[in-house]
Structure 1
Amino acid sequence: MFADLGIVLVVAGIALAIFARIRNLAFGALGWGLAIVGVIVTIVGGSLTVIPAGQVGVVFSALNGVKQRPLSEGIHFVTPIVDNVILYDARLQELTLSRTGEDGTNADESIQARSKEGLGISADVTVQFRLKRDEAAQLHSQLGPRYIITVIRPQVRSKVRDAIGQFNAADIISTQRQAVEARITEELREVLERNHLELDSVLLRELRIPESVAKAIEEKQTAEQQVAVERNRLQQANIAAQRKVVEAEGEAKANVARAEGESKALKLRGEALKANPEIIQLTVAEKLSPGVQTIMLPSNGNYLLDLGALTNRSAVQSSTNGR
């Protein structure tokens, strides 16, 4: 900007001096003075360069070649005529390769790859990156301003194809999408690091497979889901059957326990009756009439049975057994 102003002053001063000489006017010296000021401004302006925000300047000297120390944002002094400053964008940049094209046109720049089983897959990818400020001079010397075309674009295509080729198509569009993204990121980061660039992220925007293949994969997944449902139902049926078996076994054991208890009770009662046969007579008498104290029972030997005596005897025996 200053150099342009200086050139304008030089031209204006010379024109004014020539006009004054032709017209024999007194301000010819003023014109030459203005021209001298223009030369000074041009020289000073040529030694000043402004690096805008978000950019870095690489200085190329006609005498020494590329200077290894890049210029950061702000105003810097350089050698006029000898030094030339090349600006590089140091902010986050992105490269998009998609079906619609990076500029929104219909130019198809999507990446065509093949899965592990050889199926064609079309991928839309966005790569975000930035150059390393401290290595801008090396990047300029080795790659130049067209580094996106010469390095990043072909490397992105290559690494995406390599990563997709490691997975099956069904896995890529379902469960392994992030794994593909991670593999691309890892391999591409190594390449950019070697070329003085820093990878920020890789975004798989869209993955497309042939419609017939997608339909077949969908049918396969549906069948697998149905098999899983049927397997779950079978497991539930087996669990229900096992529960019924357990319940039946429990019931059978309970019945056995009850039968054993009843058998033991009957055995004990039989032993008690055998030891005390008069209890039978007492039970019969109690059933006949609670109010009868003496009863005649037909037997081979006719006798009278005193129920009161039997009752007292039974009570005494029960008391003795309780002790």
Structure 2
Amino acid sequence: MLGLEIIEPGEVGILVRLGKAQEKVLQEGLHFVAPWLDRVQKFDIRVQKYEVEVPAETRDLQPVDAKFVITYRVKENKVVTVLREHGDLKHVEEELVSPQTKGAFRQAATSMNAQEMVTQRAELKQDFERELNDSLDKFGIKLLDISILRLEFGKDYQDAVIRAQMAEQQAREAENMVKVAKAEALAEQERAKGQALAEKERAEGKVTAIKKVGDALLSPGGKLFLQIEILEAWKEGGSKVPNVLVIGDDIPRLPFLVNTEQSNNNPLEDY
């Protein structure tokens, strides 16, 4: 009389005859067995996830507390060997996955100091995965992925990191203050240059205007204008003509009106 065994998807069956595991692996589906002679040990070959906590030390002896999720599966062609040596998945995780994970991470941790472990996490994970994959592969376990859940350092190191961050922030603030001060000084210099240039242009404008007036007065029309001004002054002042000395053609500069302090009733005498 035969019995029936059903192997579900994601499982394989190991035929145990008279207490000894056989090399033949039963795939998913319906199988006939002799119940008085055989039994079937089912084994899950689907992807498994297992959490492992690992205390370790870095190369510079900083304590680090890590926690990982190890994603793995048992290789189908190694199921019989794994079952014989370790039993079901619970024993596989306790006797293989956990200790191999701890050993691989401690090996990777000693190759880095604490700062490198923080700044070079990708390299750390790569080294860790390589070590663990080599270790588990020897036992018929296929490593699929490692997820880092926690990577914490001791309090002394954390305090040192905080102090370093504060010092760096203060240095940046001081650098920004220096930049602001330099910018303000440069702006003040530019303002001063602008003001000096404006004063220079105003002074040059005045000189130019005076020169133009002088040139106009030295022209024939300018001399006539001065004569008319003298006559107008004489008319307004009565019979007394303002005492005026006109310096003209022989001096190539501005004409000057100078009080001679002498009475002269002929305003055109000097002309």
- Quote the residue 1:117 is aligned against: 60
The aligned counterpart of 1:225 is 169
| Structure 1 position 44, deviation (Å) | 2.0
- Cα deviation for residue 170 of structure 1 reads 4.3
- Which has the larger share of strand? 2
Residues 14, 41 of structure 2: 8 Å contact kept? yes
User: CA, structure 1 residues 239+58, in 2 after alignment: closer, same or farther (shift >3 Å)?
Assistant: farther
CA distance 1:162–1:297, shift in 2 (3 Å): same
Q: How far did residue 93 of structure 1 move?
A: 1.9
Kindly indicate whether the alpha-carbon contact (under 8 Å) linking 1:114 and 1:121 is maintained by their aligned counterparts in 2: yes
Residue of structure 2 in register with 1:55 after alignment: 11
Q: Which amino acid aligns with 2:194?
A: G
Corresponding position of 2:47: 92
% identical equivalent positions: 25
TM-score by length of 2: 0.67
**Residue 211 of structure 2 is aligned to residue 267 of structure 1:** yes
CA–CA distance in structure 1, aligned partners of residues 16 and 232 of structure 2: 132
Higher relative helix content = 1
Q: Tell me the equivalent position of 2:255.
A: none
How far is 1:209 from its partner?
2.9
Q: Which runs of 5+ in 1 are unaligned?
A: 1-42, 99-110, 306-323
Q: Using a 3 Å threshold, how does the CA distance of structure 1 residues 151 and 296 change in structure 2: closer, same or farther?
A: same
TM-score (norm: length of structure 1):
0.58
| Residues 230, 241 of structure 2: 8 Å contact kept | no
Q: Which amino acid aligns with 2:43?
A: Y
User: Partner of 2:60: helix, strand, or coil?
Assistant: coil
> Partner amino acid for 2:73?
R
Q: After superposition, where does 1:199-278 map in structure 2 within 5 Å?
A: 199-276=143-220, 277-278=222-223
Cα distance in 1 between the residues matched to 2:44 and 2:81: 16
Q: Give CA-to-partner distance per residue, 1:41-70, whole Å, 9 cap, x none.
A: xx321xx32113432224578999523xx4
2:256 paired residue number? none
Distance in 2 (alpha carbons) for counterparts of 1:247 and 1:231: 24
- Identify the residue that residue 6 of structure 1 maps to in structure 2: none
TM-aligned CA deviation for residue 91 of structure 1: 2.8
The aligned runs of 1:1-323 (5 Å cut-off) are: 43-45=1-3, 48-59=4-15, 66-67=23-24, 70-77=25-32, 85-98=40-53, 111-131=54-74, 135-141=75-81, 145=87, 146-170=91-115, 172=117, 175-177=119-121, 180-189=124-133, 191-192=135-136, 196-276=140-220, 277-278=222-223, 281=226, 284=229, 297-299=242-244, 302-303=266-267
Question: What RMSD over aligned residues (CA atoms) do the two structures have, in Å?
Answer: 4.1
Tell me the SS of whatever aligns to 1:116: coil
C-alpha distance 139-269 of structure 1, shift in aligned 2 (>3 A): farther
5+ unaligned residues in a row in structure 2: which ranges?
Answer: 246-263
* Cα distance change of structure 1 residues 262 and 164 upon mapping to structure 2, 3 Å threshold: farther
Structure 2: which amino acid aligns with 1:112?
P
What is the one-letter code of the residue matched to 1:125?
F
Which structure ranks higher in relative contact order (CA pairs < 8 Å, sequence separation ≥ 6)? 2
- Give the whole-Å Cα distance in 2 for the aligned partners of 1:217 and 1:180: 19
